Chain A
């Protein structure tokens, strides 16, 4: 009796979970050649395994600007003239079609290489495409962010939503049949919060939303990224800095090759040469790139809010003023530093205080768990070896998204987005 009960429970569990089982792509059938997560993150897919895409000449596209925060024009110093207005890129079809919004990842502008790639992919599939900068990017912070202190996902989504509504108004002559939304990395987290906001505001009624490699716990992700510059790198000593080490390798690589040739396959080819970087060196390189984003964010947020942590509030800045002293200060600040020195104090002041744990809960995917669990229009694609994830994050995604989650065995952080298998799955999802 007991045994049959157990059996029944097991069977019931199997039936229940059958609808909720994530799609795990098997490494052998997947065929993605870069099994090293750091290499995949840096090099992305080798060119001949990418989908065929139209060239820029074949796309009817333009950049547009919006004046979303007119006051900023007077608050910001002169040498920020280029980012006082908000810019975005629209690729339009000559017939009624769905419109897809693309949100860039951490610090990335609307014309980031992944956004450009996604634009070509979806444009070819017949969609109007709007490319948007990340709420953490320099241009978004100065021209569209009310508090200019990105990191509080709900506020970032509100800013983003206003941007999207303004884009829709400016492009009211574009014949749109329905709206789609996607984003990669931090942009995917933003997309989830934007989709949630849209459930109450209904400006777009997104039909489908796709999250590519989102952070699950934002705090885990930023700590992982901060940690990447702490790897033990062989070859660094008192006379050779990390950059000199990498440039030295690059120089020798070109000398052995006989000529300089910059192309899509460069990193892949370089990693197959004798000069290839070790895991620690690649991790350092990825960490370095994120530290530059952190420095930009810390500097810009401090300057706009006149916090005086990096730039003295009344320091006169003209077009000729050297920003080097402030860069020197800003580059000392990683994501954790930005969070503790700028985000938390602002968030506490605006929300009657709260602990770090509460903040993490509010800005991570956890905050949307119930919504994501029931909202069948949202899907996730992630990698089992993504450096922005921590233990348990995939488990959260599995229990939240069920069969709307696809886990690829390799790809690192966003390295396989331009792999043909992934691009086919992405198009398939929106085709419905």
Chain B
């Protein structure tokens, strides 16, 4: 095969009398048409360490139901009673809080430039953005970049461990679950903008945060519309985390 990768294909090189341009003619096929690469790739992708699969699958179904019967109806109620600018403000506010663990983990991974950017975001959004209700930093070209302790552990070579489907929170693994616990603890210790302290007496803040989290998360159970959604989600989660760690 000659460098198909380096050349742009000739547009419509062959034209049939009826105008058809034979797109498959542009491709080099395996002569025997007996390659099993799709099968090999997919079987290989199924090798995710999942010793608790039975339990995880039950939790997956629990989450699916919880989502349909509780979480999503609550989110659509939230959508109904609040104007869109208020929801954006809420998301910005919690995102700004989230920039604290982002900064912490970025520092822990010794990522200088990223730490500077997140610091700039925090300074801008907390002051000009009035305690984070607005997000002027993104408009100025400093997009939000997420770093959590699971990624930090992965960055230093900690393996992901067994795959875990967490109740309500969704797909995770042992390493990332530990990371999550660390990030939550760190956030309440740092007590940025005094939110953690106030939340002690006002659990509704946690509730709002949970609703906002679901509101901003696009994932829907059943979205892949496949009987094999569990293994597909498992693979996508595992690979997405690898990508986040590498980046």
Bound-complex Cα distance A299 to B223 (A): 18
- B34, B38, B227: which contacts A323 (Cβ < 8 A)? B227
Task: Say which one of A160-168, A287-295, A354-362 lies at the interface with B.
Answer: A287-295
Given contacts A254-B243, A287-B38, contact A24 B227 (CB under 8 A): no
Given contacts A247-B243, A327-B228, A391-B20, contact A35 B11 (CB under 8 A): yes
Q: Which residue of B lies closest to A246 (CB)?
A: B41
Q: Establish whether residues A227 and B12, one from each chain, have CB atoms under 8 Å apart when the complex forms.
A: no
Count of B interface residues, CB-CB < 8 Å = 62
Bound-complex Cα distance A377 to B182 (A): 63
Bound-complex Cα distance A207 to B239 (A): 48
On chain A, the residues within 8 Å of B222 by CB distance are: 82-83
Given contacts A138-B226, A394-B19, A394-B20, contact A231 B30 (CB under 8 A): yes
Distance of A250 from chain B, by nearest CB (Å): 7
Count of A interface residues, CB-CB < 8 Å = 82
Q: Establish whether residues A280 and B4, one from each chain, have CB atoms under 8 Å apart when the complex forms.
A: yes
Given contacts A247-B239, A283-B27, contact A241 B9 (CB under 8 A): no
Bound-complex Cα distance A111 to B34 (A): 35
Q: Which of A47-84 contact B (CB under 8 A)?
A: 57, 79-83
Distance of B11 from chain A, by nearest CB (Å): 4
Given contacts A229-B38, A259-B143, A387-B24, contact A36 B8 (CB under 8 A): yes
Given contacts A232-B1, A243-B44, A320-B57, contact A395 B17 (CB under 8 A): yes
Q: Which of A183-242 contact B (CB under 8 A)?
A: 224, 227, 229-234, 236, 241-242
Q: Is A44 an interface residue (CB 8 A)?
A: no
Q: Is A407 an interface residue (CB 8 A)?
A: yes
- A287, A322, A384: which contacts B57 (Cβ < 8 A)? A322
Q: Is A156 an interface residue (CB 8 A)?
A: no
Given contacts A38-B23, A82-B64, A392-B18, contact A231 B29 (CB under 8 A): yes
Q: Is B246 an interface residue (CB 8 A)?
A: yes
Q: Is A332 an interface residue (CB 8 A)?
A: yes
Given contacts A255-B247, A319-B58, contact A324 B231 (CB under 8 A): yes
Q: Which of B1-59 contact A (CB under 8 A)?
A: 1, 4-5, 8-9, 11-12, 15-24, 26-30, 33-35, 37-46, 53-55, 57-58
Q: Establish whether residues B244 and A260, one from each chain, have CB atoms under 8 Å apart when the complex forms.
A: yes
- B5, B21, B42, B223: which contacts A385 (Cβ < 8 A)? B21
Q: Is A159 an interface residue (CB 8 A)?
A: no
Q: Is B61 an interface residue (CB 8 A)?
A: yes
Q: Establish whether residues A384 and B38, one from each chain, have CB atoms under 8 Å apart when the complex forms.
A: no
Max chain B C-beta neighbours (<10 A), residue from A107, A139, A255, A260: A260
Given contacts A250-B243, A385-B12, contact A320 B27 (CB under 8 A): no
Q: Is B84 an interface residue (CB 8 A)?
A: yes
Q: Is B94 an interface residue (CB 8 A)?
A: no
On chain A, the residues within 8 Å of B18 by CB distance are: 392, 394-395, 398
Q: Which residue of A lies closest to B37 (CB)?
A: A242
Q: Establish whether residues A260 and B227, one from each chain, have CB atoms under 8 Å apart when the complex forms.
A: no
Q: Is A321 an interface residue (CB 8 A)?
A: yes
Max chain B C-beta neighbours (<10 A), residue from A295, A320, A332: A320
Distance of A326 from chain B, by nearest CB (Å): 8
Q: Which of A232-284 contact B (CB under 8 A)?
A: 232-234, 236, 241-244, 247, 250-251, 254-255, 259-261, 276, 278-280, 283-284
Q: Is B145 an interface residue (CB 8 A)?
A: yes
Q: Establish whether residues B4 and A278, one from each chain, have CB atoms under 8 Å apart when the complex forms.
A: yes
Closest 9 A/B residue pairs (Cβ): A395-B18, A109-B225, A241-B41, A320-B54, A37-B23, A278-B5, A35-B11, A394-B18, A229-B38
